[in-house]
Structures are given as structure tokens and as C-alpha cells.
Amino acid sequence: MAVGTVLVTGGTGYIGSFTTLALLDNGYDVVIVDSLLNSSKAALDRIELICGKRPTFYQVDITDEAGLDDVFSKHPDIDSVIHFAALKAVGESGEIPLEYYRVNVGGSITLLRSMAKHNVSNIVFSSSATVYGDATRIPGMIPIPENCPIGPTNTYGQTKVMIETVISDHIEAERRKAKKAGKPFEQWNGALLRYFNPCGAHPSGIMGEDPQGVPYNLLPLLGKVATGERDKLLVFGDDYASKDGTAIRDYIHVLDLASGHLAALNYLREKKPGVKAWNLGSGRGSTVFEMIKAFSNVVGRDLPYQVVDRRLGDVLDLTANPALANEELQWKTKLTLEDACADLWRWVENNPKGYRQDPPAELLEKLKASKAVKN
């Protein structure tokens, strides 16, 4: 008997696939919807290889209300949603803002409408630390707590703030309506998870981040430099007020991040808090140059980079204060930056074509052996 059934939007993407794995490992059934715009169905095979269970999959765009309605109708046991589906590149969001608002904000409204029609009342939303903008503008806000004033500096961050507002308004309205009608209302809940820079891969080396186009995030780009697919890494600005002039970010291993989503879902189901925001991060800030050095150490050679101008909307420091999640969700990061670099390199070195190749036989044998030991 499953603990519950969860719809994961964007579930074949990087964080979505790892969260699906965590859900399946913890007794949930999972239904995925994904447009496959920036992901691959091969992620489903890797999930099954690792945990022995396969999520149900539908190729549906988050803006397709009829498509979502159809999925909810086919799976009346879905009681919660974890919502990842979105466009996610900060730089690109400034170039095509209308598309970001259409997909991210419009898609989230479409999802909530479909959920309401089918009486699905719990949503865990994949928000972002970009909602805070430049937290250094306010004294005493680094590391960033949840009560830091919101102030995004780019379109991507703006979409996340809007979606947080829409979810909050929706959940609160449904609670009020039910209360007024004398009906149960506590089943309507939302978690807003603001997280920082996910990185790493599965320690088996057979599951990781596989963006379909040019990756926008630091570690996947470093991976492509290490394999020779890219000549060098572009470092956007070395004139920040940090110890080495590069921007500071809070890197979190994707396995820790996935367990944070699971913890938030369990909290909603058990505590029924209404709408709550939590930061998911390590609380440790690392500069871009420190990350290049850490990954170079794992690879065994210095990786070439070139400093260029800052990107529009980038800020100095996005380091989390995760104390609230540590306390309320009983969750904290367990894996280090070094773990993330080692796991990423194992993934990239063995799967230079990502999911467009079969996983290496040697890694599959090791995975089989480790599962046999566990059993």
C-alpha cells in the first residue's frame, strides 16, 4: 500500500527526477507530467535501474489544462503535487520575458485550476533563492533568512515571486471558503521551497543533470569543460565585494535537495500548516573561483576559464540560512561540496553524452552489487 500518490510536474528534469527517486524510495507512488522541452524520458529508465520502481509518465505541457485534467481524472488517488515544471535560465529570462511569464506563471495557474477541479489540495512548489534578489542591500541578511524582504533582480525571480503569491492566495481562499461552509479546511496546504544552487549527481554515476541545450549552471558547464566539449568556462564578473571578486553561492547536493522536498511534503500532510516558506541550503557560501578549484581538484587538472562582464540580474551573495527547515522539517544537508564535485565528475566522465547513451556496464555492475549488499 503506497503512502500516497504524488504528481510531479517537470519530473524528468534534474531536480524532479531525483525527487521522484526519493518519493519512490519512501513508499510513494509517482505520476510525472513533463513536456520534455529540456529533459529526456531516459531519466525514467535510470530511476527504475536505481530503485526498481518506475513512475507513471505523461508527456503533457504545464500550460495544457485539458491534458492535466486528463491525468488527474485517470489517477484519482493523486493527493499532492510537487511542482517543478518551468523555464529556469536567469539570463534567458531577461531576453524572452513574455515566454517566462506565460510558462512559469501561466502554467502554475493552469495547474492550480486543474488541481482545484480534482480536489487535490497539497502543493510543494519549487521556488528559488532568486526571490530575495540582492540581500546585501539590507544589513544583517546574510546568510539569508525567510523573512528577508523579497526583491528579485531578474525576470526568472519575478516569476517565482508571482507564483508564490498565487499559491498563497489560492490556498488561503480555499481554506476560508471551506471554513465558511462549515467543511474541513486544513487539507489545503502549500510549501514554498526557496533553494540555492543544486549540484552533483547520483553516486552510482548513472543519473545526473542532462540539459538538452547549453547548460546555464556553473557545475554542468565545468563538466563540459572537463570533457573537452567546451573550451573554457566564462566567469561572469570578478569585481564583486567578495574575497576573490567572484559571486558567492550556496551549493546543495541534489540528493539533499530531493530529501528536502520529501520532508516538506510529509510536513504538509502531517502538520497541515497552510502556506509556509522554507529555505533549503547548506548555509555555506562558496565563490565561483572556489568552485572551479574544488572541481579541478576532483578532475585532477586546472580547468581553463575566462572572466567576462557580469550578467544582468546577478547578485553578490546567495547563501541560505536553513535554520527554519533544520528545525521544522527535521532536515539538513548531509553531503559536502566535495561529494557533489566527485559525484558530478563520475556522472560526466562516464556519460559524456548524458542520457543519449547507455549507462556504462561497469557502473551497472557496481550498482547491482551495492543493491545485493543492501538486500
Q: Which residues are the active-site residues?
A: 156
Q: Per-residue b/e over 277-309, b at no fewer than 16 CB within 10 Å?
A: bbbbbbbbbbbbbbbbebbbebbeeebebeeee
d(CA 25, CA 276): 25
**Are the CB atoms for 101 and 54 separated by under 8 Å?**
no
- CA distance between the termini of the chain: 20
Residue 85 C-alpha cell reads as 515544471
d(CA 164, CA 172): 12
d(CA 366, CA 375): 14
Residue 169 C-alpha cell reads as 492566495
Q: Determine the angle formed by the axes of helices 65-74 and 107-117, rounding to 10 degrees.
A: 40
Q: Per-residue b/e over 134-145, b at no fewer than 16 CB within 10 Å?
A: bbbeeeebbbbb
> Number of C-alpha atoms within 13 angstroms, CB side, residue 33?
26
Q: Where are the beta strands (DSSP E) in the chain?
A: 5-9, 29-33, 56-58, 78-83, 122-126, 189-195, 197-199, 233-236, 248-249, 251-253, 275-280, 286-287, 305-308, 317-318
Using alpha carbons, select from 77, 164, 167 the residue that is nearest to residue 113: 167
- Give the DSSP letter string of 246-303: S-EE-EEEHHHHHHHHHHHHHHHHHH--SEEEEEES-S--EEHHHHHHHHHHHHTSPP
- Map residue 166 onto helix, strand or coil: helix
d(CA 45, CA 25): 15
